[in-house]
Amino acid sequence: MGATRTLKTVRAAAAPSPRLTRLRLSRARPRAFAEWQALQRWGKLPAWERAVAGYLLRGAREQARLTQKLLGEKLGVSQQAVAQAERWTANPTVEFMRRWVDACGFSLEIRFPAVNGFERDRRDLC
């Protein structure tokens, strides 16, 4: 009978992936809303991802228990326009967001946190 052979696999050290070494400020694919919501609840979202406008608007609509169609009627836009504004890549205007949160029974607050002494410099200029 024939002798059995054992094959050994030798791997070279893998070079680090260029995708892992680069600082990424955007995602290759958008997060699903449920994933984004869970990570936000657990405090695991990166800072740049915490205030995705479309997802914040969707959360306000859901808390107000409004459907996209009903909110669209209140805003004077179509259901499709509401759905488009709730997407990851949405870029709604401040006026549209103000009307949206008013229709949902909330208020819109926009804050610019102080970064590297900017707040102090701004007060000195006034």
* Domain residue limits at 59: 30-39+46-125
**Assigned domain for 6 exists:** no
Q: Could you tell me the pLDDT band of residue 20, with boundaries at 50, 70 and 90?
A: very low
**Assigned domain for 15 exists:** no
The 10s digit of each residue's pLDDT in 110-121 is: 877 776 655 555
**Assigned domain for 24 exists:** no
**Assigned domain for 92 exists:** yes
Helices of type H across the chain: 18-21, 33-41, 53-63, 68-75, 79-85, 94-104, 118-125
Query: How many structural domains are present in the chain?
Result: 1
**Assigned domain for 101 exists:** yes
Domain CATH for 115? 1.10.260.40
